Amino acid sequence: MKRTDRENEMEATGLREIEEEFGDRLCHAFSSGKSVAEIVRMTGCKKAVSVYKVLQRRGLIGSSVKRSRFKGPPELENPLGRMGMSFAQWCNSWRFDPKSAEAELSVIDASSLAEIHVAARRDFPGTYEKGKGTLNLEEWEREINSCGTVHSFHIDWDHRLERFVGTIPGVESLSVVGKNPSFVMRVLFRAAWLLKVIGMLDGIGKNQAIKI
């Protein structure tokens, strides 16, 4: 399927299919029990809201979040900010009520088996599991950045089309055609990242190769 960007005079063939596959993998991971924050962490995605919105469009997360005066405990302000997710969105992804969630999380209880505390420990180990050595986030980020297939890119000038044509070797279904090579490269980078994440999430629910 082709996607056309008339403003930048660019056409991408195969990108929509890659995006659909990416969405399918996210949905499968979420349905298999991974939280939004865990998916973001295991894939190295910079902003949780991109994962959140895909799951929301697919109907796995509530479609609307009202503005909430509940911002969560101060301990979560920085972790949520780095993740690019509001406290209300985080609560919505877990189906928690922001008011009661804020009240329950006001006291950090590392031993509590309450669902809200278990969720917080899973999603924010740097805050709720300090000193326990459960996860070194800096080491994890370095490991994630080194994982997955590294794709190369080809951008050639097509004299017949009078456009630049970008491809990723081994991904025959993808072709990006445009007048501006920088826009073509931008689409190729996005496609390569999506393919990397698809590969990383592929093990969830099959052999559970991805663990956090």
- pTM, 2 dp: 0.79
pLDDT given for residue 210 in this prediction: 39
Q: Are residues 141 and 184 in the same domain?
A: no
- Dump pLDDT digits (tens) for 109-152: 778 889 999 999 999 988 876 544 444 545 444 544 555 556 78
Where the chain has pLDDT below 70, the residues are 1-9, 64-67, 129-150, 205-212
Task: Look at residue 20 in the predicted model and tell me its pLDDT.
Answer: 95
Q: Which domain, by its residues, includes 173?
A: 8-18+150-201
Q: Are both 123 and 195 inside the same structural domain? A: no
pLDDT of residue 168: 93
Interval 151-164: pLDDT, tens: 788 999 999 999 99
Q: How many CB atoms lie within 10 A of CB 98?
A: 21
Indicate whether 169 belongs to any domain.
Answer: yes
Residue 115 shares a structural domain with residue 163: no
Residue 46 CB partners (closer than 8 Å, separation 6+): 84
Q: How confident is the model at residue 135, as a pLDDT?
A: 45
- The answer as to whether 133 is a domain residue is yes
Q: Which residue, chain included where needed, has tokens 């959140």?
A: 52
157 backbone φψ class: left, alpha, beta (φ>0; ψ -120 to 50): beta
207: in domain: no
Cα angle 61-47-5, degrees, rounded to a multiple of 5 = 90
User: Considering 146, 171, 188, which residue would you say is the last residue of a domain?
Assistant: 146
Residue that terminates a domain, selected from 146, 163, 184: 146
